[in-house]
Amino acid sequence: MIRFRDLGPGIVIAATGLGAGDLIAASVAGAKYGMAVLWAAVVGAVLKFALNEGLARWQLATGTTLLEGWVRRLPRFWSVYFFIYLLLWSFIVAGALISATGLAVHAMVPAISVEAGGAMQSLIAAGLVLFGRYRLLEMMMKFFILLMFAVVLYCAVALQPDWGSVIGAIAVPRLPEGSVFFVLGVIGGVGGSVTLLSYGYWMRERGWSGSGQLRQVRIDLLVAYGLTGLFGIAIMVISAGVSPDVLSGSKMVLAVAEQMGATVGDIGKWCFLIGFWGAVFSSMLGVWQGVPYLFADFVHEWRNKTGDKVIDTRSVPYRAYLAFLAIPPMVLLWSGKPVWVVLAYAVAGAAFMPLLAGLLLYMNGFRNWLGPLRNRWQANLVLLAAVVLFAVLLIQKLIDVI
């Protein structure tokens, strides 16, 4: 029997991956195409489960994180590319999270500006990470995941959709005319991207190591991505039910909240706004706690300190990167995002997911590296599908930029 207290890193990765981007992408898809694209949230959750399970399997078999595997076993190009991407991704995503949390607070308390609300919450999240430990993060993420699901599922049920249509849309996938790239965006956005790599460090914090923990890890991830898929479905049901006219950016979330108020009353509006705040603040908290592990691990590896270790959250590299996430990106609240930064981030970000899927397909296939935990044909099939899907998204992104 699965006990909620036995779940850990999966809940953290689910709460971290469900951010403003997922809300907006799912809301736009639901508002534009209704129930027809609900299946995309399920497919996205399945693909992200496969990626995360492959990452965890590598760590259980080798005793090293995937990042350490890249640095030690692959040509230096791969780790240099990812390090540069990590710096750029961190800056833009941190700025977006600060802005989104500020927007969530401003929507609930108009007297607090977006800039002040975002900056305040960034510093609060940094303080919780700086003075807390992983167990505190896990407890808070369990609270946020319950909060998000309680309010979002309440909103979805309160709209009284045709549940037969909901089940049919999930069971029988179809692509309305012009929906291909909206659907691909939902699939690619569900469940996070770079934050998947943080799962390995949270596994270490929980003491999960060795092949004997594979069943526990799979259960943890199944619950996490099951919740992620349900969350995406609920958001699309809500947006399909209210059909707001605004179909872009953060205004989409506010439009959904206003329409919820008009449809089911103020309680519906406030539930959605609280759920939105819970989603973006928990994403911020997860990124602030998890991403500095990656930078600290890079520093450790490049100093040639190999062997088993736990990245110390009190170390200088970890805390320096936490400060980098929490403070410098605030400048984007006032200055906006320079065009070259946005373009570079868009291309590099779109390139990361097919790279991750491809490397898992390659690295996890070696018997002498993973032994009995190497990829089976089922894993190879799903990872190959992920490579193709994310490669298509990359090509589309390149076309958009050009």
In this predicted structure, what is the pLDDT of residue 169? 83
Contacts (Cβ under 8 Å, ≥6 apart) of 207: none
In whole numbers, what is the pLDDT of the chain averaged over residues?
83
* pLDDT at residue 55 tops 90: yes
pLDDT of the residue at 347: 60
Overall residue count recorded for the chain in this entry? 402
Q: 77 versus 128: which is more confidently predicted?
A: 128
- Of 81 and 252, the structure prediction assigns the larger pLDDT to 81
Mean pLDDT lowest among 41-45, 346-350, 355-359: 346-350
Using one digit for the tens of pLDDT, what is the confidence trace for 169-222?
A: 888 888 777 777 677 777 776 666 788 899 999 999 888 988 889 999 999 999
pLDDT band at 78 (very low <50, low <70, confident <90, very high): confident
**What is 232-252 written as a DSSP string?**
HHHHHHHHHHH--S--SHHHH
Give the pLDDT band of residue 271 (cuts 50, 70, 90).
Answer: confident
Q: Which residue has the higher pLDDT, 262 or 314?
A: 314
pLDDT at 386: 86
> Of the given ranges (6-10, 98-102, 126-130), which has the lowest mean pLDDT?
6-10
For 320-345, what is the mean pLDDT?
76
pLDDT at position 348:
60
Confidence band for 344, pLDDT divided at 50, 70 and 90: low
Per-residue pLDDT at 1 exceeds 70: no
Structure tokens at 268: 């519906």
pLDDT at residue 391 greater than cutoff 60: yes
Distances (CA, A) of 59 to 47, 68, 360: 19, 10, 12
Tell whether the model's pLDDT for residue 365 goes beyond 70: yes
For the full predicted model, state whether its pTM sits above 0.85.
yes
Residues 6+ apart with CB under 8 A from 290: 12, 16, 195, 198, 201, 202
Residue 237: pLDDT above 90?
Answer: no
Do the Cβ atoms of 226 and 50 come closer than 8 Å? no
pLDDT of residue 232: 84
Select the highest-mean-pLDDT range: 149-153, 287-291, 392-396: 287-291
- What pLDDT was estimated at residue 337? 57
Annotate 265-317 with three-state secondary structure. CHHHHHHHHHHHHHHHHHHHHHHHHHHHHHHHHHHHHHCCCCCCCCCCCCCHH
Complete DSSP assignment for 2-17: --GGG--HHHHHHHHH
Give the pLDDT confidence of 278-331 residue by residue, as tens digits.
888 998 999 999 999 999 998 888 877 555 456 778 889 999 999 999 999 998
The reported pLDDT for the residue numbered 340 is: 54
